[in-house]
Structure formats: C-alpha cells, structure tokens
Structure 1
Amino acid sequence: MASLEPMKITGYTDEDFQNKFSGDPYAFMINPDTIKMQKSIEYNEQQAPATSSASQKYKSTPSDKLTFEMVIDCTGVVDSKRIDMNKEITALETIIYTYNGKIHRPNFVKIQWGQNITFNGVLESIDVSYTLFKPDGSPLRAKISLSFSQYISPKTVTMQDAPESPDLTHIVTVSEGMSLPQLCLQTWNDDSLYIQVAEFNGLNKFRNLNGISKLIFPPVNTAN
C-alpha cells in the first residue's frame, strides 16, 4: 500500500518561481481535510439615464485565494521524530512568513499536493491556535489557518491582459515616418483614438512626429 503523499510548501526567492529558497520544503504532518479555492470578479455599477437598474462594468479580476487549516501534532503519535513544536513553527514561518533580507520581502511560495494541486502565491495571513499542552505548558498540538493569494509576475500579467487593449497604458516607440493614427492602428487596431493620445502627450501635430522617440498611450475611452 502506497504511503499518503504529504502536502508541501516550497519557498522561492524570485517572482517567476525558478530559484528555490535554501533548505527543504515544509512537509505537512497531517494533510488538510478541506481546501478552499476562491475566485472573484469586481465590477463598477453604472446606471444609464432613464433606466431602472444599474449595469455592471468590469473593473478587475482579483488574485485567486487559497485557504485551509493544517494540524501540527508533536505528541509523537503521528511522527516520532517530529516532536518539537517550536522547531515546526519556525520551519514553516521561515518559508512562508519571515522577512527575507536578500529579496527585501517574505518568500514567494508554491503549495503542492499530488499532481492536481499546485498554487503559486504569497502568504496573506497565518493564525496559530494551540490545542494540547504538556503539564509544563509546552504546546503539543497546533491548528494553523493559512490564507494565500495567487502571485503572477507583472510580465506575465501584461502578456495575459493582451497588450493591444486600449484599457492599458503603453509606452510606444515612434518609428520614422509613422503618423499618430498609424501608431494607434498598430497598437490598438483603431486609428480613431489618436486625438486622445495627442491630448495626453500635449501634441499639436498628428502626421509629422519627427523628433519624438516615444509616446505614452494611456487608457482611453473607446466611446469618444
């Protein structure tokens, strides 16, 4: 009979999850009974004139959330070699919570369980409740509530958001001979937005862009 594979948390020192934090991943003593994955979408409510109810305009998609509870049992019943509660808590916190001076922030973390659960994120909160003690007050068992927020690097977010979207800010290199309408067509597939770009950059010319190397293409209102 195959042994039960433990959930593991691995620390990383880069936002692309390529460079592992020194030391071994933290392996759970007891796997969670329940894992909660939360996805959400945020909207701005807008009510048009002469309408009876508001419509919802897309605002953003927040990061996915992963929450669960884990148990650390240092009675020796679960694992006779892991009976030091302070050592267990320190090992866990070093990976997910403690400030890492080399990267000037806590580690990025990857939570893995089997082949189907892999979550790249950062810790949002950790709550520790001690539930069993030795006669001298030393804790033997702890219930830990963990909440993680998915982390995606800014580079990946830009790729996923489709850079041609007029809802995003772009820095556009001006090619020789290109007019502002042509640049709008190239960037957004819409040459009618050049007036808004010109106003944002303080331009009084649309055709001859000589002497200009880069322009900021701000989020624009496609209805105008």
Structure 2
Amino acid sequence: MALVKAVIEILDQQAIDAARGLPARIEVQFNPTEYTLSKGAQIAEIAIPGLDSPIQQFIRGDTEKLTLELFYDSTDASRDETATPVDRLVRPIYELVKIQPKTHAPPRIRVTWGVGLSFKAIVESVQRKYTLFNPNGVPLRATVSVTFREYKTLDQQVAELNLQSSDHTRTRMAQRGDTLSRIAAEELGDAHRWRAIADENPGIDPLTPRPGVLLIIPAVDAGPGAVTR
C-alpha cells in the first residue's frame, strides 16, 4: 500500500501564487509523527456573597486548534550544488501565515491526512528551527511547528450547534440599569415576558432589580410566546 502523505490545500484560489512560493497544494516531505487537537471554553466566575465557591458561567467556546511538527531535510544539498536548500522546501508553509497581496489576509486552508484528519483552518503561527548547516552556513534540515485555527462561518456554527438555549431554565446576574423587561427581551426574546421572570423571582422589583442578585430565567417551550416552569 502506498504511503498517504499529509496535504495542505489552499482554499482561497486568489491567494495561490507559485511565484511567491504558495502553490495550490502543499504535500509535506515527511509525515508528522503526531498531531494535537485542542479546544477550550471561556468560563466566568460569578462571586455570590455567602457561597462557598463562585458560580461558574459559560461565556463562549474557544477556537479549536491543530498543532503539528513537520520535518524537512535537504542534506543532499551539501554534496550537490543544484539540490534544493531546505529553506525553499519550508517556504510554502511559511507563506501560509503571511498576508497575500490579492486577498489582503493569510489564506484559508484545509489540512488532510488520509481518512483520519480533515481540518479547515487559517494558520495562526509558524516556527522554523534549523538544525544542520553546510560549511557555507546554508541550512540543510528544519523542523517547522505550525498552529492552525479552525475556520467556520457563522452559518456553519449555528447549524452544527442546533442551539436550544431558551428551552431550559438558567440564571443571570442583574446589572446596574437592568429592568425585568430588558432582561426578558435579551434572554427570552420578548420584553412582555418580564412577568414570567418576576414569577420565578418573588420580591424582585421589576423596574430596579438589585445589582448582583442572581435571577432565575424560566424556560421557553416550543410554542410561540409560551413560557414554562
């Protein structure tokens, strides 16, 4: 079975510029020995007086990242003056993080490796480390560390998440200047639903809820305008 090489495909056709060292398709010289996928979430800590620990509030997800190291070698250049120096092999990878003249931005790309990896992204960083040189100081070996940030449009993210955040009870901390009608508009999509919030939070002033108080926001069912407990 033939060895499947990892490939970086340029998705922005206008960015393709062989003269600048950016072809439509970049095949790595040697497959990486490993790669890492990482994703995090931003969490805010809401301090409530009298509680043993803060309330954890999800803010948003972070971008998923792919990191890998690529190895390049041109030791034949030490014996053959016509051989390609390693810097020319590395140049297409380095171009991925640079602003391209026609698009005014780094290109969008897709990293694929067989059937196990397909990652649409933009390049966040490229680090080149040269480890072997000929007598004239020309680099012959390089390790290139690349970090890719996943690229998704707003429509793609909304479709994949299939968010139903209004279908469950949640909480919100009142801020200075808040009213229950304003909170209802932001959380439930209708300012007239302020009474549903008031019902869940007895004793709260609808016009001037005390800043810092944790309000219960009721769930909204699938029916138009309906609020459920």
Q: Quote the Cα distance in structure 2 between the aligned partners of 1:48 and 1:124.
A: 38
Whole-Å separation in 1 of the counterparts to 2:84 and 2:40: 40
Flag the 1:4–1:124 CA change in 2: closer, same or farther, 3 A: same
Secondary structure of 1:44's aligned partner: strand
Question: Which residue is equivalent to 2:84?
Answer: 83
After TM superposition, the structure 1 = structure 2 runs for residues 75-114 of structure 1, keeping only pairs within 5 Å, are 75-76=75-76, 83-94=84-95, 96-114=96-114
Residue 213 (structure 1) aligns with: none
Q: Supply the AA of the counterpart residue of 1:92.
A: I
CA shift digits 1:194-215 (9 cap, x unpaired): 378xxxxxxxxxxxxxxxxxxx
Instruction: Give the aligned residue type for 1:30.
Output: F
User: Counterparts of 1:20 and 1:112 in 2: how far apart (Å)?
Assistant: 21
Residue type of the alignment partner of 2:102: K
- Please name the residue that 2:217 is paired with: 223
- Give the Cα–Cα distance (whole angstroms) in 2 for the partners of residues 31 and 66 of structure 1: 15
Report sequence identity in percent: 21
Deviations along 1:149-183, one digit per CA (max 9) or x if unpaired, are 111112323434557756xxxxxxxxxxxxxx9xx
Residue in 2 that maps onto 1:9: 8
Q: What SS does the aligned partner of 1:97 have? A: coil
Quick check: 124-133 or 22-31, which moved more? Answer: 22-31
For 2:115, the equivalent position in structure 1 comes to 115
Note the aligned Cα RMSD (angstroms).
3.3
* 1:97 CA displacement: 1.9
Equivalent in the alignment of 1:194 = 192
Q: Could you report, residue by residue, the CA deviation over 1:89-119 in whole angstroms, capped at 9, with x for unpaired residues?
A: 222223x123122222010111110111011
Count residues with an aligned counterpart: 173
Counterpart Cα distance in 1 of 2:2 and 2:162: 44
Letter in 2 for 1:223: I
Q: In structure 2, what residue type is equivalent to 1:90?
A: R
Runs (4+) off by over 4 Å: 161-166
Contact 1:37 1:65 in 2 (8 A): yes
Contact 1:30–1:72 at 8 Å: present in 2 too?
A: yes
Distance 1:163 1:139, change over 3 A: same
Q: Work out the CA distance in 2 between the residues paired with 1:11 and 1:32.
A: 19
* One-letter code aligned to 1:7: A
1:136 match: 136
- AA matched with 2:94: E
1:58–1:30: structure 2 CA closer, same or farther, 3 Å change rule?
A: same
Q: Which has the higher helix share?
A: 2
Letter in 1 for 2:10: G
SS of alignment partner, residue 127 of structure 1: strand
Cα shift readout 1:10-53 (whole Å, capped 9, x = no counterpart): 1121xxxxx58533411111111121111111111113332111
After superposition, residues 135-214 of structure 1 pair within 5 angstroms as: 135-162=135-162, 165=165, 190=188, 193-194=191-192
- Summarize the Cα distance change of 1:132–1:48 in structure 2 as closer, same or farther, 3 Å threshold: same
Give how far 1:85 is off: 2.0
2:4 alignment partner AA: E
Under a length normalisation based on structure 2, what TM-score does the superposition of the two structures give? 0.64
Tell me, yes or no, if the aligned pair for 2:85 and 2:138 is still in contact at 8 Å: no
Deviations 1:118-171 (A, max 9, x none): 1111111111010011111111100111111111112323434557756xxxxx
